[in-house]
Amino acid sequence: MMRHRRRRVLLVAVIGLLVPSSVIAATEQGVQPTEHVLKNGLQLLLVERHEQPTVAACLIFDVGACNDPAGVSGIAHMFEHMMFKGSKVIGTKDFETEMAVMEEIDDLRAKMNAEMDRMRLMKRRGEIDDVLDSAQWTPAYTEMKKRYDKLIEQERALMVDNELDKIYSAHGGARLNAGTSNDMTIYFVQLPSNKLELFFWLESDRFANAIMREFYVERDNVREERRLRTESTPTGKYDEAFEAMFWQSHPYGVPVLGWASEVESITRDDVEDFMKVYYAPNNATMVLVGDFDTAQVIEMAERYFERISRGKTEPPPVVTEEPKPIAERRFYAEAETNPRVRVRWHTVAIGHSDEAGLEVLSGLLSGKSGRLYKRLVTEEDAAIGEPYAFHRARKYAGYFEISAVVKEGHEPEEVERIILEEIDKLREGEITDHELQKVKNQVLASSIRRLRSSIGLMFQLALYETWYDWRYINESPERMLEVTADDVRRMVGEYLDPKVRTVAIYRTKEGAESDVDPELSAILAGLPPEAAGQVKAMIDRIQQADDLDKLRVQLGSMQQALDSGNMPDEQKSMLAYMIKSIKARVAELEAAEKETE
């Protein structure tokens, strides 16, 4: 133990040349936020940092796709969208008139849903092929859709679009955004420290008085998001199907965006009922990191958020557990992409005593100095990019995955065989002290790097507290420092049984080539499939964007982040590519503007 401690101090001292002293102190002593719980159950985690006059702030709710009720998958993600539509006072020109129009829309949509049910029956009987194809709609549905479109125009005329974002921006706020995963939903912003009271007023208002404006329009936007992130990416729909196969019973097998047919059926009433259960203060944590006075923040939190009542119904627990796999599962697909192989095993949830060993195991296999790169790329010349291995520990369960992009002239099954051979070498073979220490040094460096950014620390505190316990920020690196070679061998023997692996093999679709340029393909090859899909979708959105001002703001923020150097090399490559894409799109739009002058 003392040997690890001395090495850690040495590494911290070296990194200290690049990191502020307050961060080093936090690393050595452990992050220690002030904890406070309001009378209604809302938890506060507060970390003062006074290097810059800014605050990173978020509200995170213990709800995600895992909590979607049966038959309405995608509702957690749908609600995230609705939280940007404003309240009774934000986002409206005439609230009473607007509510009358919204009620009329709801009445009409109830009739349209009934007619949609009739069309689903027609589809089952073979009378139509697609209930979403307007050419196949019944006359009754077509007429109701025309009336609905007119009502939507009336509603839009009464709205103030994006008023929440405009208010924050006018007062120096930035990065206003949100995200939904399987296990959580988070809303965040970064703002000047002298605008903290604005944050408390706006956030308490939108959660106490949320209005489901343009609900059905936004539902259509979610369908478009599905198209961009899943259906239009080279492997998106296959990755989604692979998840559903891997998770036999656990709700992790249901996509965060929801199944298309179920998203189409979500109603405003469904979302409002969902909010009452999961968006109560007793199911949320607020995290602030930055330049503020803790006592003043607590006073503001009590004044603005204690007006929101504790939830009347406790959120039900997720009780479905994944059964222990009993056989190998294989998935084959042809896609417009380079051949790829993915090998995955079921493992443990975040905080489990074996998580540290699995993380170290992934470190031994990953990176350009890892075993997979040396064997697959350097020695065998059978893969391109960086093969990766990672352990994904989620709130309820986890998995270990190895993936590689296959080089032309080689077969995916050959790469799969080599991967399994490298796993077998770890099962019984030598694991040197040098290899272990290299991985542990990387873990320590990464943990310090993540603490450097206030918004990064905010995310860590929020996520760990929701998934397990915020103290895991301090515990996780220490746990990994204690991992031995015998521990790693036990991880391989206990979890990476080849007889129960799940394998996905993608081959290039005959007659097709990847629609991703070589530079982007190399970047995506080093990312987990779901992350690669999201990055590809972001690039697609950049290429279709038409708001020059927003693109210029994005360009400035990304360039600033890249220039800071506060990220791993793979993230720098990804960010540099996005910057190049934005610059190209800005040039296109500027050229189009000149043509119209």
Q: Concatenated DSSP letters for 91-137?
A: SBS-HHHHHHHHHHHHHHHHHHHHHHHHHHHHHHTTS-S-TT-GGGS
Q: In this predicted structure, what is the pLDDT of residue 426? A: 94
Q: In this predicted structure, what is the pLDDT of residue 15? A: 32
3-state secondary structure (DSSP) of residue 542: helix
Which pLDDT band, with edges at 50, 70 and 90, does 518 fall under?
low
The neighbouring-strand residues paired with 285 are: 43, 60
Q: In this predicted structure, what is the pLDDT of residue 56? A: 97
Q: Which of 15-19, 40-44, 125-129, 332-336 has the lowest mean pLDDT?
A: 15-19
Q: Which CATH architecture has domain 329-513?
A: 2-Layer Sandwich (3.30)
AA identity, residue 318: V
The enclosing H or E element of 344 equals strand 340-346
Q: Residues 77-98: what's their mean pLDDT?
A: 93
Length of the chain as a residue count: 597
Token representation of residue 83: 């939280």
Q: Residues 12-38: what's their mean pLDDT?
A: 58
**Residues 492/426, Cβ–Cβ less than 8 Å:** yes
Give buried/exposed letters for 411-448 (b at 16+ CB in 10 A, else e): ebebbbebbbebbeebeeeebeeebbebbbbbbbeebb
Phi, psi of 59 (to 5 degrees): -120, 125
Better pLDDT: 172 or 595: 172
CA trace torsion 137, 138, 140, 145 (10° rounding): 0
User: What does DSSP assign to residue 33?
Assistant: P
Is the confidence at residue 596, as pLDDT, over 70? no
Bridging pattern class, strands 43-48 and 284-290: parallel
Give buried/exposed letters for 151-165 (b at 16+ CB in 10 A, else e): beeebeebbeeebbe
Nearest to 333 by CA among 529, 506, 503: 506
The neighbouring-strand residues paired with 410 are: none
Rounded to whole angstroms, how far apart are CA atoms 318 and 550?
40
CB-neighbour burial class of residue 587 (10 A; exposed 0-12, middle 13-18, buried 19+): exposed
CB-neighbour burial class of residue 69 (10 A; exposed 0-12, middle 13-18, buried 19+): middle
Give tens-digit pLDDT for 213-244: 999 888 888 888 887 778 777 788 999 999 99
Q: Residues 378-388: what's their mean pLDDT?
A: 91
Nearest to 439 by CA among 455, 453, 426, 452: 426
Q: In this predicted structure, what is the pLDDT of residue 34? A: 97
* Helix, strand, coil percentages for the chain (3-state, nearest 5): 55, 15, 30
Phi, psi of 585 (to 5 degrees): -70, -40
Phi, psi of 181 (to 5 degrees): -125, -170
Rounded to whole angstroms, how far apart are CA atoms 371 and 350?
25
Q: Residues 452-460: what's their mean pLDDT?
A: 90
Q: Which of 144-148, 176-180, 342-346, 511-515 has the lowest mean pLDDT?
A: 511-515
Better pLDDT: 158 or 523: 158
AA identity, residue 186: I
3-state secondary structure (DSSP) of residue 375: helix
Greatest alpha-carbon pair distance for the chain in Å reads 78
3-state secondary structure (DSSP) of residue 453: coil
Q: Residues 456-482: what's their mean pLDDT?
A: 93
Token representation of residue 373: 């790169």
Give tens-digit pLDDT for 390-431: 999 999 999 999 999 999 999 999 999 999 999 999 988 899
Phi, psi of 144 (to 5 degrees): -65, -35
Is the confidence at residue 531, as pLDDT, over 70? no
Better pLDDT: 371 or 25: 371
Q: Supply the pTM of this predicted model.
A: 0.84
Bridging pattern class, strands 383-393 and 185-192: unpaired
Give tens-digit pLDDT for 553-566: 677 777 766 665 55
Domain ranges of the chain: 58-305, 329-513, 534-596
Residue 302 CB partners (closer than 8 Å, separation 6+): 38, 39
Rounded to whole angstroms, how far apart are CA atoms 48 and 32?
10
Rounded to whole angstroms, how far apart are CA atoms 262 and 245?
19
- Rounded to the nearest integer, the mean pLDDT of the chain is 87
> Tokens 């070498």 map to which residue?
425
CB-neighbour burial class of residue 235 (10 A; exposed 0-12, middle 13-18, buried 19+): buried
Asked if the 58-305 domain carries CATH number 3.40.1000.10, the reply is: no
Q: In this predicted structure, what is the pLDDT of residue 543? A: 73
